[in-house]
């Protein structure tokens, strides 16, 4: 009797071990499939992880020209698409040096969604200033994940506009994938400007509009 119970117990343990092995194999294959199969799992990505993905996908073209007419922001196709598209904002600001510091106005925000399955391009807005009648004016562009930036997330400069670079622009969020402070189109206007930097959101009288695209 004791021998029979022992054999039954051993058989049950063997069956249980086999079932666990099959379950582990299935989970392993499912996990591998989520990463290397038809799409890349991204449903639980944070804003920071989405921003990291954007940094490898976004490029700016034509910003070194004397005009912004041919400039664009491009979100490139990736080798493996994401399982779940996420919203992306492409936003442009005009920065102008004033006696009080840097005045910033949002001029366009373009919303799209991406999963890396195709290349998307957003042209720079028309009418961007190349230097306003003796003023030092520059353009800031940012590509970020999720919803539009709110007050505490908006960009600010930590140096005077004439000398500031990309590293001198700070955002209050980790959702920023790429940002560029475009060199002045008229460097002579900025060469003589040395103002105190100011941090701040877009001025209340700025012009802003949204363009929504699937």
pTM of the complete model beyond 0.85 = no
Q: Which residue has the tokens 């086999």?
A: 18
Burial class (CB in 10 A: 0-12, 13-18, 19+), 165: exposed
Using the predicted structure, report yes or no on whether residue 150 has a pLDDT greater than 70: yes
Residue 168's CB is within 10 A of a number of other CB atoms, namely 15
Helix (H, G, I), strand (E, B) or coil at 198: coil
**If pLDDT is split at 50, 70 and 90, which confidence band does 99 have?**
confident
**If pLDDT is split at 50, 70 and 90, which confidence band does 211 have?**
very low
Asked if residue 147 lies in contact with residue 191, where contact means CB atoms within 8 angstroms, the answer is no
pLDDT tens digits, residue range 25-66?
Answer: 444 444 433 454 589 999 999 999 999 999 999 999 988 776
Using the predicted structure, report yes or no on whether residue 210 has a pLDDT greater than 50: no
For the ranges 8-22, 52-66, 79-93, the lowest mean pLDDT is seen at 8-22
d(CA 135, CA 190): 7
d(CA 88, CA 54): 9
pLDDT tens digits, residue range 112-125?
Answer: 999 999 999 999 99
d(CA 129, CA 162): 15
33's tokens: 């499939």
pLDDT tens digits, residue range 189-205?
Answer: 787 665 444 545 544 33
Nearest Cα residue to 187 out of 91, 97, 102:
97
Give the pLDDT confidence score for residue 128 in this predicted structure: 85
Average pLDDT for the chain: 78
Q: Residue 54 belongs to what H/E stretch?
A: helix 47-57
Nearest Cα residue to 41 out of 78, 80, 86, 84:
84
């Amino acid at each position: 009797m004791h021998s029979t119970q022992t054999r039954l117990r051993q058989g049950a343990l063997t069956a249980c071990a086999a079932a666990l092995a099959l379950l582990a194999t299935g989970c392993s294959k499912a996990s591998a499939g989520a990463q290397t199969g038809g799409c890349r799992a991204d449903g639980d990505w944070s804003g920071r992880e989405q921003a990291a993905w954007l940094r490898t996908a976004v490029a700016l073209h034509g910003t070194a020209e004397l005009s912004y007419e041919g400039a664009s922001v491009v979100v490139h196709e990736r080798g493996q698409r994401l399982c779940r598209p996420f919203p992306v904002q492409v936003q442009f600001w005009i920065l102008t040096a004033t006696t009080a510091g840097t005045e910033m106005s949002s001029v366009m925000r373009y919303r799209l969604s991406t999963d890396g399955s195709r290349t998307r391009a957003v042209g720079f807005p028309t009418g961007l200033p190349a230097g306003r009648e003796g003023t030092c004016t520059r353009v800031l562009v940012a590509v970020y994940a999720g919803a539009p930036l709110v007050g505490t997330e908006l960009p600010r400069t930590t140096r005077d506009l004439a000398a500031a670079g990309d590293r001198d622009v700070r955002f209050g969020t980790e959702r920023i994938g790429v940002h560029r402070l475009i060199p002045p189109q008229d460097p002579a206007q900025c060469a003589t400007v040395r103002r105190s930097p100011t941090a701040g959101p877009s001025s209340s009288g700025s012009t802003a509009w949204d363009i929504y695209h699937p």
